[in-house]
Amino acid sequence: MVDVLGRFLNMGVEPYQFVSALNCVMAQRLVRLICSHCKRPARVEPRLLAESGLNPALAQTHQFYEGAGCIECSGTGFKGRTAICELLNLSDKIREMILDRRPNSEVKKAAHDEGMRFLRESAVEKVLQGMSTLREINKVTFVE
């Protein structure tokens, strides 16, 4: 998300030209939803949780789900999609950091400290709610 700001700079747009015009920047991706007709509990290996940037202990304490595949979902185990998103609200502090050309990592940390939820966090929430799978969210988001 913060990379959008860097793209403006790489295109030669001066920060003062876009910082005053932007209120927020939103990024979104779609993830497939587990089919409600064939949804079933699934065992998730602690290794997959660790590779996904999650606590491997979740394998013991949380119930995960998958779709078995049925006629309703054409055997895929998924039916429908939902959006995961992140919203960067350009607060005065964030605007100042952009104008000062602070590194993206600093801007990202400041935004997170102000309450911004990253795409990955939104995606993990969908998994923990039993709406999607780890493999699905790992396709569309990155572990940081």
Predicted confidence pLDDT, tens digits, the chain (144 residues) = 567 777 777 787 787 777 878 888 899 999 999 999 999 999 999 999 998 889 999 989 999 999 999 999 999 999 999 999 999 999 999 989 988 888 888 989 999 999 999 999 999 999 999 999 999 999 999 887
User: Helix H segments across 20-130?
Assistant: 46-51, 58-61, 92-99, 104-113, 119-128
**Angle between helices 3-10 and 104-113 in degrees, nearest 10:** 150
pLDDT of residue 2: 66
CATH number at residue 79: 3.40.50.300
In this prediction the pTM is 0.84
Radius of gyration of the chain (CA): 19
Q: Which of 41, 36, 55, 80 lies closest to 143 in space, CA to CA?
A: 55
pLDDT of residue 22: 83
User: How many domains does the chain fold into?
Assistant: 1
pLDDT of residue 68: 96
Written as six digits, the tokens of 85 are 């998103």
Q: Which range marks the domain in which residue 106 is found?
A: 3-140
